[in-house]
Amino acid sequence: MRRALGALLLALVLLPWYRLVAWRGIGPSAEQTLRLGAQYFLAQWAGLLLGVALILVLSRLLPPARVATVWDAARRWLVQPPVLRVGVTLAVLATGLSLTISNFALNQRPILLDGASQLVQARYFAAGLLAGPPLPDPAFWEFQFMTRTPVGWASQYPPGFAVLLALGLRAGAVWLVGPLLLGVAVCLTTLVADRLFPEDRETARLGSALVAASYFLAFHAGSYMNHALAGALVALAVFASLRALDGTWRWALLSGAAVGALFATRPLVAVVLGFFATVIVWVGAPARARFDWREWTKRLAAAAGGAAPLGLAVMAYNARLFGSPFRFGYEAVAGPAHGLGLHTDPFGSPYGLREAVGYTSADLLGLSLDLLQTPLPALVLIGLYLMRAPRLDRGTRLAAAWALLPVGANALYWHHDLFMGPRLLYESAPAWCLLVAGAALHVIRGLPEALPGQVGGGRPTGRFTRTGVAATFALALGLGVAVAGPARLRGYAANGRASGVTLAPPSVDRPALVFVHEDWGSRLGTRLAVLGLRVDSIRAALLGNTTCELERLVRARERSESGSPASAGTGSLPDAQGREMRPLRELVMPSGSTIRTYTGEVLTPECEREAASDYEAVLALPPLLWQGDLPGLGAHGAMYVRDLGPERNAQLLARFPEREPALLARAGGNELRLIPYSTGMKRLWSME
């Protein structure tokens, strides 16, 4: 079984299966996967070839005694101290790395809409509200990952992470939440590793150190992603289950509670890794004693009892906001196509067996290089280890299950995203780090320090030595930590500044209504949502129609007497579902705004005006919303709203006469400034 898994892992990362994502056409997700998959694939093979060459060179040049001295010093630092001291030290280092990323690269702001949506929800939780009030004119605030519910305006995400963010907001240090969670996860992983590998402390401690050094984990923890909480909860559940093996049933209660909190944060992860963290850990752990049926009953009941309160609370939350205990916000926003299985995804793209293989291959390629940012592909080493090791101990088998189960589950899920690495595999990353450590040490231990042909006191004349392999691995890790990781960090920082999502808005000293000019496609998507379309229908409409055609359809619907806005997620817009047979092309303006059109299309005056308003610059509204006054929250600061043109804006101005209107604009490349409303409207919307 393990050899088959190793061979499958190698096949998925060494062969270009990622190209299967374009088997039935190239949608937005496939385009990203093809582009990044090709980069990962070439980088992987280049790293492999360079790594082998470097091993050959260092095996001949490095005296074994010198490298052994360095390794002995590192080994003493890792292996000799008590496990808790090592865990706390590594946790501090990981937290510091994530804080550095959050403060100096991301400016303490989310870089993805996921974080922005949950921060808006956290603002309402912090005020003691389940959701925001019904929006007076939704088009000025609505965005993709928020939805209007019977209770009010709410995020599509389960409430678990937003609750912690709310506590951070109340404490005035919301930017600390993710990095601290990463520190907790690293400390718990260190404790877990010592119990998984009781006879191999080198593997346990080295694997824990790799978790602390992972930029992949630190990036997400520093950017307000709920994966940080999910990762900490998985580590807590595994640790508590391991303690339950030789402790009381109360540890099983804690493990179940962690799984319940995980269900309130990332439900699919809770189903997959929650089962692993309890049942599979209890079956396969290197424990001192095995359970009899009474102990099994007691601990399973305790785990279920620990998970039940939070699980039931999430179901009650779903029922109140989304109409059913089993209906999550994802489905309320994007429709049933958001669920698991092989079917058409919410973008209208087919997701079948070929696509599942292609996206899974791309995820593993990305993880292989992004996990530690090293030029040596980590998953190739692990695949070889699974195939070649004479046997795997119980700890390694559990680490492999922890790593591989989410891969199989995500293969049945249409959503795959490689920005900042394959983040849907985040919660399994600690297990991959433990496997990397075990595989590396297995290779090193299996080689002689000096091959036959080495003259006493001289240098080896053979091919591979323990010294050459160990030095190559150490250099690759050092390159990842000191060069590749910071370079990737600079890229994220530049991306955030270029898009404006990490720029700090200017402060105000009086109540203000600040209009933010988003791109035409975003304005159209919001107006379609207000008309009652779900996200899946909106995406189909945006992809299948020219931008001007869709503008005319939306205007007609908005003006019609029978076109009053429906409740969110229930309506449809005739003729807006897309005309897939027509070849459309995209025109990109200097601002980055994109217009879909076809050769020879003539824009109406209304469309020309919409397009011209985007020409110079556009900004994203969602990352700004949580930083200002929100509907129902705050009355003395800046309330950020979407610019929909002076005529539509007039309705909102009349609703908030006490607020001074202004337009948010760029001041140079890396700053935002407020300009008078009348000046801004003339600059953007005047056709003179």
Confidence at residue 326, expressed as pLDDT on a 0 to 100 scale:
94
pLDDT tens track for 445-455: 888 876 555 54
Q: Is 578's pLDDT higher than 70? A: no
Inter-residue contact 513 to 653 (CB < 8 Å): yes
Average pLDDT value over all residues in the chain: 91
pLDDT tens track for 456-468: 444 444 578 888 9
Which of 178-187, 463-472, 603-612 bottoms out in mean pLDDT, i.e. has the lowest? Answer: 463-472
End-to-end CA gap in the chain: 71
Structure tokens at 457: 């006191």
Between vectors from CA 611 to CA 31 and to CA 498, what angle results, nearest 5°?
55
CA distances to 234, 338, 618 from 243, rounded to whole Å, are 14, 37, 53
Confidence band for 72, pLDDT divided at 50, 70 and 90:
confident
Q: Cβ atoms within 10 A of the Cβ of 512, count?
A: 23
pLDDT average, residue stretch 45-55: 95
pLDDT tens track for 286-343: 765 567 788 888 999 999 999 999 999 999 999 999 999 999 999 999 888 899 999 9
Q: How far apart are CA 227 and CA 427, in angstroms?
A: 7
Q: Smallest Cα–Cα separation from 672: which of 648, 646, 647, 638?
A: 638
What is the value of pTM for the model shown? Answer: 0.93
Confidence at residue 28, expressed as pLDDT on a 0 to 100 scale:
72
Inter-residue contact 278 to 255 (CB < 8 Å): yes
Confidence at residue 634, expressed as pLDDT on a 0 to 100 scale:
87
Q: Cβ atoms within 10 A of the Cβ of 301, count?
A: 14
Inter-residue contact 563 to 557 (CB < 8 Å): yes
pLDDT average, residue stretch 251-261: 97
Q: Is 64's pLDDT higher than 50? A: yes
pLDDT tens track for 368-413: 999 999 999 999 999 999 999 888 999 999 999 999 999 999 999 9
Q: Smallest Cα–Cα separation from 116: which of 138, 159, 145, 154?
A: 145
pLDDT average, residue stretch 128-152: 93
Inter-residue contact 536 to 346 (CB < 8 Å): yes
CA distances to 82, 234, 254, 306, 329 from 240, rounded to whole Å, are 19, 10, 6, 12, 30
pLDDT average, residue stretch 646-668: 94
Domain boundaries, the chain: 2-105+156-451+468-483
pLDDT average, residue stretch 93-104: 97
Q: How far apart are CA 119 and CA 621, in angstroms?
A: 13
Q: Cβ atoms within 10 A of the Cβ of 637, count?
A: 18
Q: Please, where are the H alpha helices in 227-324?
A: 227-246, 249-263, 267-275, 281-284, 293-322
Q: Is 127's pLDDT higher than 50? A: yes
Confidence at residue 458, expressed as pLDDT on a 0 to 100 scale:
47
Confidence at residue 660, expressed as pLDDT on a 0 to 100 scale:
97
pLDDT average, residue stretch 346-359: 92
Percent of all residues in the chain with a pLDDT value above 90, rounded to a whole number:
75
Which of 22-31, 188-197, 245-254 bottoms out in mean pLDDT, i.e. has the lowest? Answer: 22-31
pLDDT average, residue stretch 422-435: 97
Confidence band for 667, pLDDT divided at 50, 70 and 90:
confident
Confidence band for 582, pLDDT divided at 50, 70 and 90:
low
